[in-house]
Amino acid sequence: MSRFRVVFSSVRAAIGVGAVVAFSGCGDRTGPVVGHAFGVSRGGHSIVELVRAVYDSQPTGARLGVLTWDVPGGANLMQETEGANFFAANRNVIAVVGHNGSRNALIASMVYSDAHVAHLVPNATSRRLTTAGDWTFQLVPDDSAEGAYLASYAYDSLRAHRIAVLYVGDEYGTGLRDGVRSELAARGTDPPVDVTMVPNESCYSAQARSIQRLIVVAALRRGQPDVVVAATGMSNARCLADIIEAERPGTPILGADGFGFQTAPNAPVNPAVLQQVRFVRFWQPGADSVNRVFLDRWHRVSERPPNDVDALTYDGYMLLDAAVRAVGPSRLAVRTWLRSLGVTRAPFQGVTGPISFARGRVGLVLRMVPAQESAP
Amino acid sequence: MNRAEIATAGTRPSSPRLSLRQALILVFVGALAYVAVVGLILVIRVGPATQRLPRESTTVMNEYNQSEYRIRSVDKVQGELQALVGAMPTEQVDSGLLRSIRARLQEAEEDSRTLARMAAPSGSRTELRSLLAYGLLRESAWRNVLLAAAAAVELHDAAAARELLNVADLRSRPVHALFNVETSAVLRAVRREESNIAEVTASSTRLVGLWFVGGLLLLPVVAVFVRRRVAAPLAVLDDGLARVSAGDLSVELEPAVPDELGRLALHFNRMTAVLRERAAQEEERTATESTARTRAILEAALDAVVVIDEQGVVHEWSPRAVATFGWSRDEAMGRLLADLIIPEESRADHTLGLRAYGQRATTPMLGRRVETVAQRRDGTRLPVELAISPLHRQGRTEFSAFIRDLTEQHRMESELRQAQKMDAVGQLAAGIAHDFNNLLTGIMGYADLMRHDEQANAQLREDAAAVLAAAERGADLARGMLTLARRSHARDESVDLTKLAQEVMDVFSRTVDRRIEVTLALSADAAVARGDRSQLANALLNLVINAADAMPNGGQLTIGMRVARLDEQFTKRHSREAVPGEFVVLTVRDTGHGMSSDVRARIFEPFFTTKPIGEGTGLGLSMVYGTVRSHRGIVTVDSAEGTGTTFTIYLPLDHTGAELEIAPVREVRTGRGRILLADDEAQVRDVMARLMRRMGYAVELACDGEEAVELVRADPDRCDLVVLDGNMPRMTGPDAARAIRAIRPGLPLVLSTGYFDADSDETPAAKLFDGTIAKPFDLAALSQILATYVPS
């Protein structure tokens, strides 16, 4: 059992992918628990500590525990599957929160659907999760919705009419691309002036940078866009932003939640680029009582400001706490209770807004954040 | 009681065994499990392998085909780009082709991403998946270079385009090499699947084969189990039922196990017990009925039924045996038959017969009707008919003897012989009497003529009177003979027998020996019978005379008179003519020397007498017998030597009234008229004509009936009366009477007859006549008849 520990969520958007920190001494316990299906963020603040503190403050009869899963580094698909099977086999596990990223969450959701374990997914936006089954609860909108938000932001906020889309050819990129197209078609406006696939590669070499540059430049010259939607991940975000700024200075670059810059001390991001780049974020600290409580609790366990994944993960645990207190520590009862939100019950008031699953996650407010504000 | 164990054909188990239902369920479940195991082997081992092979093959081939298509498409794009780059210095870049190239590269990229998403690194395709994933990465890098090359062409950077195409060419090589490896891997995967299924199939086949062999080895055990638990008990039950259906109710099954068959055996035993009980009840009822029926038969039997064993001991003694032999049933049962009914002289033969049957199982007495003599309890003998049959009962042999008392039969046969003898004698006497009367008619007629001839001297008239008196005695003798033959012309009138007896005894007492004490024991009842008074008086007179003769040294003579009712049994036993009813019983009892049985058997025979010659005619008792029988009466005699004799006469009581006193008219009456007289006897015809003419009648003569008829036919009014002889040649008197009646119905007809034959044709024919003249007759009697029918 030494491999399974309390873990802390990794933040793929703001702090990079797969950084995990191992905790010890709080794994095994009897009674109902919630599985924490994230790798441990090494050196970070533990949301698990925060959640345990909250859970332990509950009355004895409805008190939940947190069962963690420790992996030595960034989990691959095999390890994600193994971890999901571990949680599913433990009858004390009422539900699971986690599995970072769409690929991992999709693999795990199949295991949990078969084992009838409610699976709360804080930060995976794959469209396929919306059809993963009754036991999967996505706490964020999918890629298409995010793409639609980007299109509407470019059209409404930036008054852009010539929108070009650069995307990577994976599930994430195509989802955003389709969301943009759908939103523009729904508005009855012109379609994107150019939709070009770019290599999902970083500009790690001169040849790679040359390839990216030729493709992006050709696309920009073809479309002459007012706004570029960069439906890519962090691997080539900085490269693309540099090329776009060099070719068409001052052109706004809009990224989704996975868009971000990998920074290095000896290679700072061009400030002109930072001025043009905006990211999507699922949460910003609010002033309401729920947010105040969350922030208060958060700062007790971490010096780092909470990001949206922290908030979404916290909301997941609070949802399960409310469910167990309402219907008891039963997998089926918890799932039924979650499905009833927004249908026969009022939406749950979470940190990230009202939560219900009648038609996917409803009530989450997307926000566009300038890259300058999100830079560490 | 036969007991058969129904639960097993073998030894009894020491521990409780399965019930029939459990055994059947066990066999059924076992068979089901046996088949299910085969099915499971096929489903679990062969099924998935056979299903996985096409699925895996199809998937692998689809992935392979997609990869092949995609690589070929990218190869084509590369070729098109090379063509574009080669033409760049001189020709305008085809922007449409470039869009197409970008689109196809983007499509290939998305396809490869989709394929990568589908490629889960598990199962038999792990190697292929790894190759595929690696190949997709290489493909992506290749396509990225081509995308860049297309962009370079679009940007008219020929040098960069060529350089990128060179890079693309370099990057395409590992892709193709990987594709070849992938192809090999595909083939290996398919072969592996095929090998796997072949191995699974072979091992499953072996497993199934072993399973079948095991099943075959287990089959005898199952067969023995089924035979012992099902077939054998059912066979025992079947055998028991067969025996019961064949009538053997003693069979009983022994349930070894309290299962269904055990309960069936218990029900079977209850059934046979009930059947046995019912059979016993039925047997008892049948025996009771049989006993009652036998008893009823024995009680109703007219013959005595006696059952004896081989030692001659009596085991059955019927009521008729009691009545016949005088021994009661209690007295007879258990005693030797020889001591009861077998005369002393026959007992040795009886003992020998029983002993002979014991030695040879047969004896001449069996199965036959034998007449012999038995004796009663009082020692008297009686003739019997004996029929003996052996009875084999319960291992013992008994003899049933049906003994018929022949006493009555012998008596009736004797009476029949007597009657036949009397009839024969009667026929003879009647013929003699008839001729005798004709002769007497002439004698008496002529004597009468002479006696009444006024011209004859006195001596002649006295002689005629003497002749007439002698003739009248002859007529009495003839009348006696006719009475014997019951063909006399008897009167039919009411006769007061009490008065008649007193008159007879009054006459008899004057002449009887004074040493004989005569007693009249007459009842006060009106003892009136219908008949001929003179015949009855003669009969009674004969009896008392015989009684007096039987007591030459004196004794007691008692005449009794009473009225009694005779039943049919009595009347039939003594007479064929007597009718049951009230009879006047007249007894004449003496204390004389009595009669032996031989004498007693012949006393009514005509001309039989024990008196010395000249003292008796032998007709006295014969006349008594004839008179009584002609009056439809019965006469019996009871006599034994030394104890006296009793004659008893039974005459039907007449209820019409008392006797009328009619004074006989003896004067000769004269008359006038014409009489036609027909008689074949010339002498009779002559004397009758002379007598009639003397009375004043005109007489016309005919020789026979036919002549008389012709005369009447010639002149029906020629006469006022016709007198016809009864027995004439050519045409008898009755036949002539019929003919004359046909001619002249109102003409009076009188029958002139020498005897009255009750059985002859004259009897019904007599009704044709208006009157009858019995020959011989005297002048007065003839004149009375004629005066009656010839009008003056």
Tell me what pLDDT residue A7 has. Answer: 27
Give the C-alpha separation, A7 to A69, whole Å. 6
pLDDT tens track for B639-649: 988 889 999 99
**A174: distance to nearest CA of chain B, Å?**
8
Q: How many CA atoms lie within 13 A of B103 on its CB side?
A: 7
Report how far Cα A177 is from the mean position of its chain's Cα atoms: 18
Nearest CA in chain A to B147: A215
Which residues on adjacent β-strands are paired with residue B502? none
Give the C-alpha separation, A172 to A128, whole Å. 11
pLDDT exceeds 50 at position B15: no
Could you tell me the domains of chain A? 33-140+286-365 (3.40.50.2300), 143-281 (3.40.50.2300)
The DSSP code sequence of B356-396 is HHHHHS--TTBTSEEEEEEE-TTS-EEEEEEEEEEEEETTE
Rounded average pLDDT over B746-771: 69
Tokens of B289: 């009925």
User: How big is the CA angle at B218 (ends B216 and B219), to the nearest 5 degrees?
Assistant: 65
**A204: distance to nearest CA of chain B, Å?**
13
pLDDT tens track for A80-138: 888 889 899 999 999 999 888 888 888 889 999 999 999 999 988 988 888 888 999 99
Give the C-alpha separation, A78 to A82, whole Å. 6
Tell me what pLDDT residue B488 has. Answer: 58
- Chain B positions touching A171 (Cβ under 8 A) are 113, 117
- Chain B positions touching A76 (Cβ under 8 A) are none
Residue B588 backbone phi and psi in degrees, to 5: -125, 110
Better-predicted residue by pLDDT, B488 or B72: B72
Nearest to A226 by CA among A153, A317, A326: A153
Contact pairs from chain A to chain B, CB under 8 Å:
59
**B96: distance to nearest CA of chain A, Å?**
13
pLDDT exceeds 70 at position B562: yes
- Cβ distance of A214 and B151 shorter than 8 Å: yes
Greatest alpha-carbon pair distance for chain B in Å reads 228
Residues of chain A scoring pLDDT < 70? 1-30, 39-46, 61, 70-75, 262-265, 373-376
Picking from B102, B106, B167, the nearest residue to A207 by CB comes out as: B167
Intra-chain end-to-end CA distance of chain B, in Å: 112
**B97: distance to nearest CA of chain A, Å?**
15
Tokens of B280: 């016993």
Q: What is the mean pLDDT of chain B?
A: 82
- Chain A positions touching B140 (Cβ under 8 A) are 169, 199-200
Tell me what pLDDT residue B219 has. Answer: 87
Q: Is the peptide bond between B776 and the residue preceding it cis, with omega within 30 degrees of 0?
A: yes
Question: Which residues does B410 contact at the CB level (< 8 Å), separation at least 6?
Answer: B383
Tell me what pLDDT residue B2 has. Answer: 56
**A198: distance to nearest CA of chain B, Å?**
8
Reduce the secondary structure of B512-528 to three states and give it as a string: CCCCEEEEEEECCCCCE
Better-predicted residue by pLDDT, B48 or B345: B345
Tell me what pLDDT residue B494 has. Answer: 84
Cβ atoms of A47 and A6 closer than 8 Å: no
pLDDT exceeds 70 at position B327: yes
Tokens of B191: 């072969």
Give the C-alpha separation, B700 to B676, whole Å. 5
pLDDT tens track for A162-195: 999 999 988 889 999 999 999 999 999 889 999 9
pLDDT tens track for B723-748: 998 888 888 888 899 999 999 988 99
- Cβ distance of B109 and A201 shorter than 8 Å: no
Nearest to B776 by CA among B703, B716, B688: B688
pLDDT tens track for B76-96: 999 999 998 888 877 788 888
Residue B742: Cβ-neighbour burial (10 angstroms; 0-12, 13-18, 19+):
exposed
Give the C-alpha separation, A42 to A21, whole Å. 3
pLDDT exceeds 80 at position B410: yes
Share of residues in chain B with pLDDT > 70 (%): 90
- Cβ distance of B113 and A169 shorter than 8 Å: yes
Intra-chain end-to-end CA distance of chain A, in Å: 36
Picking from B106, B121, B155, the nearest residue to A218 by CB comes out as: B155
Rounded average pLDDT over B162-177: 89
Greatest alpha-carbon pair distance for chain A in Å reads 66
Single-letter amino acid code for the residue at B700: E
Which residues of B fall below an 8 Å CB-CB distance to A? 102, 105-106, 109-110, 112-113, 117, 120-121, 140-141, 144-145, 147-148, 150-152, 154-155, 157, 160, 164, 167
Length of chain B in terms of residues written: 792
Cβ atoms of A142 and A130 closer than 8 Å: yes
- Chain B positions touching A207 (Cβ under 8 A) are 167
pLDDT exceeds 60 at position B12: no
pLDDT tens track for B570-593: 888 787 778 889 999 999 999 998
Cβ atoms of B608 and B618 closer than 8 Å: yes
**A319: distance to nearest CA of chain B, Å?**
31
Provide the Cα torsion A240, A246, A247, A251; round to 10°: 80
Instruction: Name the helix (H) or strand (E) containing A228.
Output: strand A227-231
Report how far Cα B421 is from the mean position of its chain's Cα atoms: 46
Reduce the secondary structure of B774-789 to three states and give it as a string: ECCCCHHHHHHHHHHH
Better-predicted residue by pLDDT, B662 or B62: B62
Tell me what pLDDT residue B767 has. Answer: 72
Tell me what pLDDT residue B698 has. Answer: 92
Reduce the secondary structure of A275-331 to three states and give it as a string: HHEEEEECCCCCCCHHHHHHHHHHHHHCCCCCCHHHHHHHHHHHHHHHHHHHHCCCH
- Chain A positions touching B121 (Cβ under 8 A) are 77-78
DSSP state of B642: T
Cβ atoms of A252 and A312 closer than 8 Å: no
Tell me what pLDDT residue B661 has. Answer: 53
Tell me what pLDDT residue B124 has. Answer: 47
Give the C-alpha separation, B260 to B266, whole Å. 10
Radius of gyration of chain A (CA): 21
- Cβ distance of A211 and B145 shorter than 8 Å: yes
Reduce the secondary structure of B262-323 to three states and give it as a string: HHHHHHHHHHHHHHHHHHHHHHHHHHHHHHHHHHHHHHHCCCEEEEEECCCEEEEECHHHHH
- Cβ distance of B110 and A169 shorter than 8 Å: yes
pLDDT tens track for B269-309: 888 889 889 988 998 998 888 888 888 888 888 889 999 98
- Cβ distance of B155 and A201 shorter than 8 Å: no
Picking from A170, A211, A217, the nearest residue to B144 by CB comes out as: A211
Single-letter amino acid code for the residue at B211: W
Picking from B113, B148, B157, the nearest residue to A211 by CB comes out as: B148
- Chain B positions touching A193 (Cβ under 8 A) are none
User: How big is the CA angle at B765 (ends B761 and B767), to the nearest 5 degrees?
Assistant: 145
Give the C-alpha separation, B789 to B498, whole Å. 36
Tell me what pLDDT residue B346 has. Answer: 87
Q: How many CA atoms lie within 13 A of B761 on its CB side?
A: 11
